[in-house]
Structure 1
Amino acid sequence: MKYSKEFKEEALKLSDEIGLKKAAQQLGIQYYTLSDWRTKRNAAAKAKKYQMTDEELKQRNLELERENAELRKANDILKDALGFFAKDRKK
């Protein structure tokens, strides 16, 4: 059976309030149907949570490039320090 988007949304709201089993019984639909709708809704919400706008992606990219540059500098400093101390030990 096909259910409208509005019906599904209201059914999910009801299931959030009173639980899946009670909501399914009150609405006269199968428990697993309502459970499947909930699983799909949660997966879609999770996927949407991780989506970024182009501007957010650009900003994040700039942050990562800056961090990468800082880490490269720190790595170079550590390499120089290691070389300095290695020479000092050979004497």
Structure 2
Amino acid sequence: MARQRQYDMDYKIQSIKLSNEIGLTKAARELGISPSTLNGWIKASKEGRINLGFGTQTPSSAMSLAQELEMLRKQVKDQNKQIQRLKEENTFLEEASAFFAASRLKSTRTKD
């Protein structure tokens, strides 16, 4: 099984900028990375998960307000799901802790 290579954020940003200048396929070939990897980074930058810095968005590459609103709503929905899951886990852990504390107290009483 091939080991997945890790790239730092600066490398990704420079790769995206290069692909904007010379094209995705040519940039991927020059960098020695898969075009699908580079395309994933480009998509992430369009979704706002990779910040290319000031002055890099053009009207054609920027998200529309509707797209941005949709993305933000999805993020809020995902975060709410995660919050609910964490609350449930905390409740379970509190109950388990109380159970074990009670059983420990019970076992020390029977030893005396």
TM-score by length of 1: 0.49
More helix by share: 1
Larger Rg: 1
